[in-house]
Structure 1
Amino acid sequence: MEQTLRGPEASKAVQDSGWRFLLGSLRASVPVGSLAEATALAADAVAVCGEQADGHLRVDARPDRVVFTLQSVEQAAVTTLDVELALRITTTADRSGLATEPDIGTAAPRSVQVLEIAIDALDIAGIRPFWKAVLGYVDEADANGPEDPLVDPVGQGPAIWFQQMNQARPQRNRIHFDVSVPHDEAARRIDAALAAGGRLVSATRAPAFWVLADLEGNEACVTTWQGRD
Protein backbone atom coordinates (compact mmCIF):
# COMPACT_ATOMS: atom_id res chain seq x y z
CA MET A 1 0.00 0.00 0.00
CA GLU A 2 1.35 3.43 -0.98
CA GLN A 3 2.14 5.57 2.08
CA THR A 4 3.14 9.21 2.47
CA LEU A 5 6.63 9.71 3.91
CA ARG A 6 7.88 12.44 6.22
CA GLY A 7 11.13 14.23 5.50
CA PRO A 8 13.50 12.06 7.56
CA GLU A 9 11.99 8.85 6.17
CA ALA A 10 12.13 10.03 2.56
CA SER A 11 15.66 11.39 2.85
CA LYS A 12 17.04 8.25 4.48
CA ALA A 13 15.36 5.95 1.95
CA VAL A 14 17.12 7.50 -1.07
CA GLN A 15 20.25 9.14 0.34
CA ASP A 16 22.61 6.32 -0.61
CA SER A 17 21.29 6.35 -4.19
CA GLY A 18 22.21 10.00 -4.72
CA TRP A 19 18.67 11.40 -4.58
CA ARG A 20 17.83 14.30 -2.28
CA PHE A 21 14.59 15.26 -0.54
CA LEU A 22 13.59 18.87 -1.27
CA LEU A 23 10.28 20.56 -0.40
CA GLY A 24 8.13 17.46 -0.58
CA SER A 25 9.86 15.90 -3.58
CA LEU A 26 12.76 13.61 -4.46
CA ARG A 27 15.27 15.03 -6.93
CA ALA A 28 18.36 13.82 -8.73
CA SER A 29 20.59 15.46 -11.33
CA VAL A 30 22.41 13.13 -13.75
CA PRO A 31 25.28 14.56 -15.84
CA VAL A 32 25.18 13.49 -19.51
CA GLY A 33 27.26 14.19 -22.59
CA SER A 34 24.62 15.21 -25.12
CA LEU A 35 20.95 15.94 -25.60
CA ALA A 36 20.60 12.57 -27.34
CA GLU A 37 21.98 10.84 -24.25
CA ALA A 38 19.69 12.93 -22.05
CA THR A 39 16.55 12.06 -23.97
CA ALA A 40 17.53 8.38 -24.08
CA LEU A 41 17.95 8.32 -20.30
CA ALA A 42 14.66 10.16 -19.85
CA ALA A 43 12.90 7.60 -22.04
CA ASP A 44 14.44 4.74 -20.07
CA ALA A 45 13.28 6.33 -16.81
CA VAL A 46 9.73 6.71 -18.09
CA ALA A 47 9.77 3.10 -19.23
CA VAL A 48 10.90 1.70 -15.86
CA CYS A 49 8.31 3.82 -14.04
CA GLY A 50 5.62 2.34 -16.29
CA GLU A 51 2.06 3.46 -15.77
CA GLN A 52 3.06 5.35 -12.59
CA ALA A 53 5.23 7.80 -14.56
CA ASP A 54 2.47 10.31 -15.35
CA GLY A 55 1.37 10.56 -11.74
CA HIS A 56 4.82 10.82 -10.18
CA LEU A 57 7.71 11.65 -12.52
CA ARG A 58 8.83 14.97 -14.03
CA VAL A 59 11.89 15.21 -16.26
CA ASP A 60 14.02 18.17 -17.34
CA ALA A 61 16.36 16.93 -20.10
CA ARG A 62 19.21 19.17 -21.26
CA PRO A 63 22.43 18.61 -23.22
CA ASP A 64 24.54 18.47 -20.04
CA ARG A 65 22.19 16.85 -17.53
CA VAL A 66 18.82 15.31 -16.77
CA VAL A 67 17.01 16.44 -13.63
CA PHE A 68 14.44 13.99 -12.28
CA THR A 69 11.71 14.95 -9.83
CA LEU A 70 9.48 12.42 -8.10
CA GLN A 71 6.35 13.33 -6.16
CA SER A 72 2.83 11.97 -6.00
CA VAL A 73 0.73 14.44 -7.99
CA GLU A 74 -2.40 13.26 -6.23
CA GLN A 75 -0.99 13.65 -2.72
CA ALA A 76 1.48 16.49 -3.39
CA ALA A 77 4.00 14.59 -1.27
CA VAL A 78 6.66 11.89 -1.41
CA THR A 79 5.33 8.37 -1.04
CA THR A 80 6.77 4.89 -0.75
CA LEU A 81 6.09 4.48 -4.47
CA ASP A 82 8.24 7.52 -5.26
CA VAL A 83 11.11 5.90 -3.36
CA GLU A 84 10.65 2.69 -5.36
CA LEU A 85 10.63 4.64 -8.64
CA ALA A 86 13.77 6.55 -7.62
CA LEU A 87 15.64 3.30 -7.06
CA ARG A 88 14.45 1.96 -10.41
CA ILE A 89 15.73 5.10 -12.18
CA THR A 90 19.08 4.85 -10.40
CA THR A 91 19.45 1.24 -11.54
CA THR A 92 18.60 2.24 -15.11
CA ALA A 93 21.13 5.08 -15.04
CA ASP A 94 23.81 2.73 -13.69
CA ARG A 95 23.25 0.34 -16.58
CA SER A 96 23.92 3.21 -18.98
CA GLY A 97 27.14 4.15 -17.20
CA LEU A 98 25.54 7.21 -15.61
CA ALA A 99 24.99 8.10 -11.96
CA THR A 100 22.39 9.82 -9.81
CA GLU A 101 25.06 10.77 -7.28
CA PRO A 102 25.22 14.55 -6.62
CA ASP A 103 27.66 16.29 -8.96
CA ILE A 104 29.19 19.00 -6.80
CA GLY A 105 32.66 19.28 -8.27
CA THR A 106 34.28 22.37 -9.71
CA ALA A 107 32.48 21.95 -13.03
CA ALA A 108 29.10 21.84 -11.30
CA PRO A 109 29.01 24.01 -8.16
CA ARG A 110 25.68 22.58 -7.05
CA SER A 111 23.48 19.54 -7.54
CA VAL A 112 19.73 20.03 -7.10
CA GLN A 113 17.82 22.88 -5.50
CA VAL A 114 14.38 24.49 -5.39
CA LEU A 115 13.91 28.25 -5.56
CA GLU A 116 10.94 30.00 -3.95
CA ILE A 117 10.09 33.70 -3.72
CA ALA A 118 8.67 34.86 -0.41
CA ILE A 119 6.56 38.03 -0.28
CA ASP A 120 6.06 39.73 3.09
CA ALA A 121 2.55 41.15 3.29
CA LEU A 122 0.09 42.70 5.70
CA ASP A 123 -2.92 41.60 3.63
CA ILE A 124 -2.02 38.30 1.99
CA ALA A 125 -5.56 37.60 0.77
CA GLY A 126 -5.62 41.05 -0.82
CA ILE A 127 -2.40 40.77 -2.82
CA ARG A 128 -2.45 37.06 -3.66
CA PRO A 129 -4.92 37.39 -6.60
CA PHE A 130 -2.66 40.01 -8.23
CA TRP A 131 0.39 37.76 -8.16
CA LYS A 132 -1.65 34.81 -9.36
CA ALA A 133 -2.90 36.80 -12.34
CA VAL A 134 0.25 38.68 -13.33
CA LEU A 135 2.42 35.54 -13.22
CA GLY A 136 -0.15 33.20 -14.78
CA TYR A 137 0.21 30.95 -11.72
CA VAL A 138 -2.24 28.51 -10.13
CA ASP A 139 -3.03 27.18 -6.68
CA GLU A 140 -0.69 24.57 -5.27
CA ALA A 141 -2.17 21.07 -5.11
CA ASP A 142 -4.61 20.79 -2.20
CA ALA A 143 -3.86 24.39 -1.19
CA ASN A 144 -6.32 26.89 -2.61
CA GLY A 145 -6.94 29.06 0.42
CA PRO A 146 -6.67 32.88 0.33
CA GLU A 147 -3.19 32.79 1.90
CA ASP A 148 -1.75 29.60 0.34
CA PRO A 149 1.29 29.43 -2.01
CA LEU A 150 1.12 29.80 -5.78
CA VAL A 151 2.96 27.66 -8.34
CA ASP A 152 3.81 27.75 -12.03
CA PRO A 153 1.42 25.33 -13.78
CA VAL A 154 4.17 24.21 -16.17
CA GLY A 155 6.87 24.02 -13.50
CA GLN A 156 9.27 26.53 -15.02
CA GLY A 157 9.16 29.35 -12.49
CA PRO A 158 9.78 29.41 -8.73
CA ALA A 159 6.91 28.96 -6.31
CA ILE A 160 5.54 32.05 -4.54
CA TRP A 161 4.58 32.00 -0.89
CA PHE A 162 3.41 34.74 1.44
CA GLN A 163 4.78 35.59 4.88
CA GLN A 164 2.46 37.36 7.28
CA MET A 165 3.62 40.71 8.63
CA ASN A 166 2.22 42.30 11.76
CA GLN A 167 3.24 45.83 10.81
CA ALA A 168 4.83 47.62 7.88
CA ARG A 169 8.61 47.34 7.66
CA PRO A 170 9.73 50.09 5.25
CA GLN A 171 13.34 49.65 6.39
CA ARG A 172 13.51 46.10 4.99
CA ASN A 173 12.94 44.49 1.63
CA ARG A 174 9.48 42.95 1.21
CA ILE A 175 10.47 40.15 -1.17
CA HIS A 176 13.22 37.61 -0.55
CA PHE A 177 14.42 34.36 -2.08
CA ASP A 178 14.22 30.97 -0.38
CA VAL A 179 16.80 28.57 -1.79
CA SER A 180 16.06 25.02 -0.73
CA VAL A 181 19.21 22.91 -0.98
CA PRO A 182 20.14 19.33 -0.02
CA HIS A 183 20.74 19.19 3.70
CA ASP A 184 24.34 18.07 3.21
CA GLU A 185 25.13 21.00 0.89
CA ALA A 186 23.79 23.83 3.06
CA ALA A 187 27.02 24.60 4.90
CA ARG A 188 28.98 24.85 1.65
CA ARG A 189 26.38 27.19 0.12
CA ILE A 190 26.35 29.45 3.18
CA ASP A 191 30.15 29.60 3.33
CA ALA A 192 30.26 30.59 -0.34
CA ALA A 193 27.69 33.36 0.21
CA LEU A 194 29.61 34.74 3.18
CA ALA A 195 32.89 34.62 1.26
CA ALA A 196 31.20 36.57 -1.54
CA GLY A 197 30.47 39.50 0.78
CA GLY A 198 27.27 38.35 2.43
CA ARG A 199 26.52 38.30 6.14
CA LEU A 200 24.61 35.96 8.39
CA VAL A 201 21.50 37.71 9.73
CA SER A 202 20.10 34.83 11.75
CA ALA A 203 20.65 31.12 12.38
CA THR A 204 18.05 30.75 15.12
CA ARG A 205 15.89 28.48 12.96
CA ALA A 206 18.76 26.44 11.50
CA PRO A 207 18.87 23.85 10.03
CA ALA A 208 15.37 24.65 8.74
CA PHE A 209 16.73 27.94 7.39
CA TRP A 210 19.51 30.48 7.73
CA VAL A 211 18.83 34.15 6.89
CA LEU A 212 21.60 35.81 4.87
CA ALA A 213 21.90 39.30 3.43
CA ASP A 214 23.98 41.09 0.82
CA LEU A 215 25.95 44.27 1.49
CA GLU A 216 22.82 46.41 1.10
CA GLY A 217 20.64 44.28 3.38
CA ASN A 218 18.64 42.37 0.77
CA GLU A 219 17.84 38.98 2.27
CA ALA A 220 17.84 35.38 1.09
CA CYS A 221 17.21 32.22 3.09
CA VAL A 222 19.11 28.98 2.59
CA THR A 223 16.69 26.25 3.64
CA THR A 224 16.68 22.48 4.13
CA TRP A 225 14.08 19.89 5.11
CA GLN A 226 15.78 19.35 8.47
CA GLY A 227 14.30 20.89 11.57
CA ARG A 228 10.80 20.88 10.12
CA ASP A 229 9.49 17.37 10.88
Structure 2
Amino acid sequence: MVGMTASEKITPKQFHDADGVDDWRVLYWGAHAFFRADSFAQGASFVAGIAELVADTRHDPDVDLRREGVAVKLITRDIRELSVHDVELARAISALASRLGLRADASQLQVVQVAVASVPSADVLPFWQAALGYVRPGERHLADPLRRGSSVFLQDEMPEDRPRRGRMHVDVAVPHDQVHARIAAMLAAGGRMADDSEAPEWWTLADAENHGVDITTWWGRESVRLEEEREP
Protein backbone atom coordinates (compact mmCIF):
# COMPACT_ATOMS: atom_id res chain seq x y z
CA MET A 1 0.00 0.00 0.00
CA VAL A 2 1.73 3.10 -1.31
CA GLY A 3 3.06 5.58 1.23
CA MET A 4 2.22 3.49 4.31
CA THR A 5 4.51 1.69 6.72
CA ALA A 6 4.01 -2.02 7.43
CA SER A 7 2.84 -1.39 11.00
CA GLU A 8 0.38 1.36 10.09
CA LYS A 9 -3.24 0.73 11.05
CA ILE A 10 -5.74 0.23 8.23
CA THR A 11 -9.52 0.00 8.07
CA PRO A 12 -11.50 -3.08 6.97
CA LYS A 13 -12.32 -1.28 3.73
CA GLN A 14 -8.64 -0.60 3.02
CA PHE A 15 -7.89 -4.27 3.63
CA HIS A 16 -10.62 -5.47 1.26
CA ASP A 17 -9.68 -2.89 -1.37
CA ALA A 18 -6.11 -4.23 -1.49
CA ASP A 19 -5.06 -6.58 -4.29
CA GLY A 20 -4.47 -10.26 -3.58
CA VAL A 21 -6.75 -10.68 -0.54
CA ASP A 22 -9.82 -12.21 -2.20
CA ASP A 23 -9.56 -15.28 0.04
CA TRP A 24 -9.93 -13.20 3.20
CA ARG A 25 -12.82 -11.59 5.09
CA VAL A 26 -12.64 -9.11 7.97
CA LEU A 27 -14.70 -10.24 10.98
CA TYR A 28 -14.61 -7.87 13.94
CA TRP A 29 -10.96 -6.82 14.37
CA GLY A 30 -9.11 -9.44 12.30
CA ALA A 31 -8.90 -10.88 8.79
CA HIS A 32 -9.94 -14.53 8.46
CA ALA A 33 -9.60 -17.22 5.80
CA PHE A 34 -10.38 -20.93 5.63
CA PHE A 35 -8.49 -23.18 3.23
CA ARG A 36 -9.94 -26.60 2.45
CA ALA A 37 -7.48 -29.48 2.34
CA ASP A 38 -7.74 -32.95 0.81
CA SER A 39 -6.09 -34.53 3.85
CA PHE A 40 -4.81 -33.76 7.33
CA ALA A 41 -1.26 -34.19 6.03
CA GLN A 42 -1.83 -31.59 3.31
CA GLY A 43 -3.17 -29.18 5.89
CA ALA A 44 -0.21 -29.85 8.17
CA SER A 45 2.21 -29.06 5.34
CA PHE A 46 0.38 -25.78 4.81
CA VAL A 47 0.70 -24.91 8.50
CA ALA A 48 4.43 -25.68 8.38
CA GLY A 49 4.74 -23.38 5.38
CA ILE A 50 2.96 -20.57 7.25
CA ALA A 51 5.42 -21.04 10.12
CA GLU A 52 8.29 -20.52 7.70
CA LEU A 53 6.66 -17.39 6.26
CA VAL A 54 6.46 -15.71 9.66
CA ALA A 55 9.61 -17.13 11.24
CA ASP A 56 11.53 -13.85 11.05
CA THR A 57 8.62 -11.42 11.41
CA ARG A 58 7.26 -11.96 14.95
CA HIS A 59 3.85 -11.43 13.38
CA ASP A 60 2.32 -14.82 14.14
CA PRO A 61 -1.23 -15.59 12.95
CA ASP A 62 -3.73 -17.78 14.78
CA VAL A 63 -3.90 -21.09 12.90
CA ASP A 64 -6.38 -23.92 13.47
CA LEU A 65 -5.70 -27.24 11.73
CA ARG A 66 -8.58 -29.68 11.27
CA ARG A 67 -9.07 -32.61 8.92
CA GLU A 68 -11.35 -30.42 6.78
CA GLY A 69 -8.72 -27.73 6.35
CA VAL A 70 -6.96 -24.80 7.98
CA ALA A 71 -8.46 -21.62 9.46
CA VAL A 72 -6.18 -18.59 9.71
CA LYS A 73 -6.72 -15.28 11.50
CA LEU A 74 -4.49 -12.23 10.99
CA ILE A 75 -4.30 -9.28 13.36
CA THR A 76 -1.57 -6.89 14.48
CA ARG A 77 -1.52 -7.61 18.19
CA ASP A 78 -0.01 -4.39 19.50
CA ILE A 79 -2.88 -2.35 18.00
CA ARG A 80 -5.47 -5.18 18.15
CA GLU A 81 -6.57 -4.30 14.63
CA LEU A 82 -5.33 -4.66 11.06
CA SER A 83 -2.18 -3.15 9.60
CA VAL A 84 -0.44 -3.07 6.22
CA HIS A 85 1.61 -6.05 7.38
CA ASP A 86 -1.57 -8.14 7.55
CA VAL A 87 -2.27 -7.39 3.88
CA GLU A 88 1.23 -8.52 2.94
CA LEU A 89 0.96 -11.71 5.00
CA ALA A 90 -2.51 -12.50 3.65
CA ARG A 91 -1.15 -12.37 0.10
CA ALA A 92 1.77 -14.63 1.00
CA ILE A 93 -0.44 -17.19 2.77
CA SER A 94 -2.91 -17.29 -0.13
CA ALA A 95 -0.07 -17.82 -2.59
CA LEU A 96 1.27 -20.65 -0.43
CA ALA A 97 -2.17 -22.28 -0.26
CA SER A 98 -2.47 -22.13 -4.05
CA ARG A 99 0.93 -23.76 -4.53
CA LEU A 100 0.01 -26.59 -2.15
CA GLY A 101 -3.42 -27.17 -3.70
CA LEU A 102 -5.62 -25.88 -0.86
CA ARG A 103 -8.82 -24.02 -1.77
CA ALA A 104 -10.21 -20.97 0.02
CA ASP A 105 -13.80 -21.31 1.25
CA ALA A 106 -15.18 -18.10 2.77
CA SER A 107 -18.55 -19.73 3.45
CA GLN A 108 -17.02 -21.41 6.51
CA LEU A 109 -16.03 -18.15 8.20
CA GLN A 110 -17.76 -16.71 11.23
CA VAL A 111 -16.96 -15.40 14.71
CA VAL A 112 -19.39 -15.97 17.59
CA GLN A 113 -19.60 -13.76 20.68
CA VAL A 114 -21.94 -14.00 23.69
CA ALA A 115 -23.32 -10.70 25.01
CA VAL A 116 -24.56 -10.46 28.61
CA ALA A 117 -26.58 -7.36 29.56
CA SER A 118 -27.27 -6.13 33.09
CA VAL A 119 -28.05 -2.92 34.93
CA PRO A 120 -25.04 -0.57 35.25
CA SER A 121 -24.77 -1.12 39.03
CA ALA A 122 -24.41 -4.89 38.70
CA ASP A 123 -20.74 -5.86 38.47
CA VAL A 124 -21.14 -9.30 36.90
CA LEU A 125 -17.88 -9.33 34.92
CA PRO A 126 -15.78 -10.97 37.71
CA PHE A 127 -18.31 -13.80 37.91
CA TRP A 128 -18.12 -14.56 34.18
CA GLN A 129 -14.34 -14.26 34.18
CA ALA A 130 -14.09 -16.77 37.02
CA ALA A 131 -16.63 -19.13 35.46
CA LEU A 132 -14.93 -19.21 32.07
CA GLY A 133 -11.27 -18.86 33.07
CA TYR A 134 -10.96 -16.03 30.54
CA VAL A 135 -8.69 -12.98 30.44
CA ARG A 136 -9.86 -9.37 30.27
CA PRO A 137 -8.37 -7.59 27.23
CA GLY A 138 -10.80 -4.67 27.47
CA GLU A 139 -12.98 -2.92 30.00
CA ARG A 140 -16.07 -4.99 29.14
CA HIS A 141 -14.63 -7.86 27.10
CA LEU A 142 -13.57 -11.34 28.19
CA ALA A 143 -11.61 -13.64 25.91
CA ASP A 144 -10.26 -17.16 25.87
CA PRO A 145 -6.50 -16.69 26.49
CA LEU A 146 -5.77 -19.15 23.67
CA ARG A 147 -8.52 -17.65 21.46
CA ARG A 148 -10.35 -20.96 21.04
CA GLY A 149 -13.81 -20.27 22.44
CA SER A 150 -16.29 -17.47 21.87
CA SER A 151 -15.57 -14.13 23.51
CA VAL A 152 -17.99 -12.58 26.01
CA PHE A 153 -19.09 -8.94 25.95
CA LEU A 154 -20.57 -7.47 29.14
CA GLN A 155 -23.16 -4.78 28.40
CA ASP A 156 -24.32 -2.38 31.13
CA GLU A 157 -27.02 -0.66 29.11
CA MET A 158 -30.14 -1.92 30.92
CA PRO A 159 -31.91 0.96 32.74
CA GLU A 160 -32.06 0.65 36.53
CA ASP A 161 -35.89 0.86 36.46
CA ARG A 162 -36.26 -2.10 34.12
CA PRO A 163 -37.52 -5.36 35.65
CA ARG A 164 -34.53 -7.18 37.13
CA ARG A 165 -34.05 -10.11 34.83
CA GLY A 166 -30.92 -11.16 33.01
CA ARG A 167 -30.57 -10.69 29.27
CA MET A 168 -28.26 -12.54 26.92
CA HIS A 169 -27.91 -12.67 23.17
CA VAL A 170 -25.45 -14.06 20.66
CA ASP A 171 -23.42 -11.96 18.20
CA VAL A 172 -22.44 -13.71 14.97
CA ALA A 173 -19.97 -11.96 12.66
CA VAL A 174 -20.15 -13.24 9.08
CA PRO A 175 -18.48 -12.19 5.81
CA HIS A 176 -19.99 -8.99 4.45
CA ASP A 177 -20.78 -10.67 1.13
CA GLN A 178 -22.74 -13.47 2.82
CA VAL A 179 -24.75 -11.58 5.44
CA HIS A 180 -27.99 -11.38 3.43
CA ALA A 181 -27.89 -15.11 2.68
CA ARG A 182 -27.43 -15.82 6.41
CA ILE A 183 -30.36 -13.55 7.30
CA ALA A 184 -32.55 -15.19 4.64
CA ALA A 185 -31.72 -18.63 6.03
CA MET A 186 -32.66 -17.54 9.55
CA LEU A 187 -35.97 -16.08 8.37
CA ALA A 188 -36.72 -19.24 6.40
CA ALA A 189 -35.99 -21.30 9.53
CA GLY A 190 -38.74 -19.56 11.52
CA GLY A 191 -36.95 -16.43 12.73
CA ARG A 192 -38.17 -12.85 12.50
CA MET A 193 -36.44 -9.55 11.92
CA ALA A 194 -36.59 -7.86 15.34
CA ASP A 195 -34.61 -4.71 14.53
CA ASP A 196 -32.72 -3.53 11.46
CA SER A 197 -32.26 0.09 12.55
CA GLU A 198 -28.51 -0.39 13.01
CA ALA A 199 -27.97 -2.03 9.61
CA PRO A 200 -25.55 -2.49 7.95
CA GLU A 201 -23.51 -2.68 11.17
CA TRP A 202 -25.82 -5.33 12.56
CA TRP A 203 -29.30 -6.84 12.20
CA THR A 204 -31.15 -8.31 15.19
CA LEU A 205 -33.21 -11.44 14.54
CA ALA A 206 -35.19 -13.51 17.03
CA ASP A 207 -36.48 -17.05 17.25
CA ALA A 208 -40.01 -18.11 18.17
CA GLU A 209 -39.16 -17.74 21.88
CA ASN A 210 -37.76 -14.21 21.30
CA HIS A 211 -34.11 -15.18 21.86
CA GLY A 212 -32.02 -12.63 19.99
CA VAL A 213 -29.10 -12.99 17.59
CA ASP A 214 -27.19 -10.03 16.19
CA ILE A 215 -25.80 -10.73 12.73
CA THR A 216 -22.94 -8.34 12.10
CA THR A 217 -20.26 -7.49 9.54
CA TRP A 218 -17.60 -4.80 9.27
CA TRP A 219 -19.99 -2.69 7.17
CA GLY A 220 -20.80 0.48 9.09
CA ARG A 221 -18.16 0.05 11.77
CA GLU A 222 -15.50 2.14 10.05
CA SER A 223 -17.80 5.15 9.61
CA VAL A 224 -18.87 5.00 13.26
CA ARG A 225 -15.25 4.96 14.47
CA LEU A 226 -14.25 7.84 12.23
CA GLU A 227 -17.20 9.95 13.42
CA GLU A 228 -16.23 9.32 17.04
CA GLU A 229 -12.63 10.30 16.36
CA ARG A 230 -13.77 13.60 14.80
CA GLU A 231 -15.81 14.59 17.85
CA PRO A 232 -14.16 17.29 20.04
- What is the distance in 2 between the residues matched to 1:171 and 1:11? 43
2:98 aligned residue:
94
CA distance in 2, matches of 1:24, 1:152: 15
Structure-2 residue corresponding to 1:106: none
Corresponding residue for 1:136? 133
Contact 2:34 2:70 in 1 (8 A): yes
Residue of structure 2 equivalent to 1:182: 175
User: SS at 1:8's partner residue?
Assistant: helix
Residue 162 of structure 1 deviates from its aligned partner by 1.8
Moved more, 13-22 or 182-191: 13-22
- Selected match of 2:62 from 58, 61, 65: 58
Which amino acid in 1 is paired with 2:145? P
| Corresponding position of 2:229 | none
Match of 1:35 in 2: 40
Distance (Å, rounded) in 1 between the aligned partners of 2:191 and 2:199: 17
For 1:49-198, list aligned pairs within 5 A: 49-52=54-57, 54-102=58-106, 110-123=107-120, 126-140=123-137, 143=138, 145=139, 148-163=140-155, 164-167=157-160, 169-170=162-163, 174-198=167-191
Aligned mates of 1:171, 1:182 — CA distance in 2: 36
Shift of 1:207: 0.9
Cα 1:194–1:125, aligned 2, differ >3 Å: closer, same or farther? same
* Cα separation, 2, equivalents of 1:228 and 1:68: 22
* Change over 3 Å in CA distance of 1:125–1:78 after alignment to 2: farther
Q: 1:66 to 1:124 in 2, by over 3 A?
A: farther
- d(CA) in 2 for partners of 1:131, 1:59: 26
Change (3 A) 1:202 1:171: farther
Q: CA RMSD in A?
A: 1.9
Q: Which residue of 2 aligns with 1:18?
A: 23
AA in 1 matched with 2:91: L
How many equivalent residue pairs? 216
- Aligned residues of 2:201 and 2:216 also touching (Cα < 8 A): yes
CA distance in 1 between partners of 2:17 and 2:66 (Å): 28
**Alpha-carbon deviation of 1:180?**
0.3
Alignment gaps of 5+ in structure 2? 223-232
Give CA-to-partner distance per residue, 1:77-126, whole Å, 9 cap, x none.
11100110010000011111223352xxxxxxx32111000111113761
C-alpha distance in 2, partners of 1:171/1:216? 19
The one-letter code sitting in structure 1 at the alignment partner of 2:111 is V
Higher mean alpha-carbon deviation, 82-91 vs 54-63, is at 54-63
CA contact (8 A) 1:173 1:219 kept: no
Structure 2 letter corresponding to 1:51: D
Distance 1:119 1:168 in 2: 18
- Tell me the TM-score normalized by structure 1: 0.88
Residue by residue, what CA displacement relative to the aligned partner does 1:129-178 show, whole Å, maximum 9, x if unpaired? 111111000012xx2x3xx2110001111111122212465598601000
Pairs within 5 Å for 1:210-221: 210-221=203-214
SS of the counterpart of 1:201?
Answer: strand
Structure 2 counterpart SS, 1:67: strand
Is the partner of 2:221 in helix, strand or coil?
coil
Q: Return 5+ residue gaps in structure 1 as ranges.
A: 103-109
Of all paired residues, the percent bearing the same amino acid is: 34
* Cα distance, 1:204–1:96 mapped onto 2, change above 3 Å: same
CA distance in 2, matches of 1:172, 1:12: 44
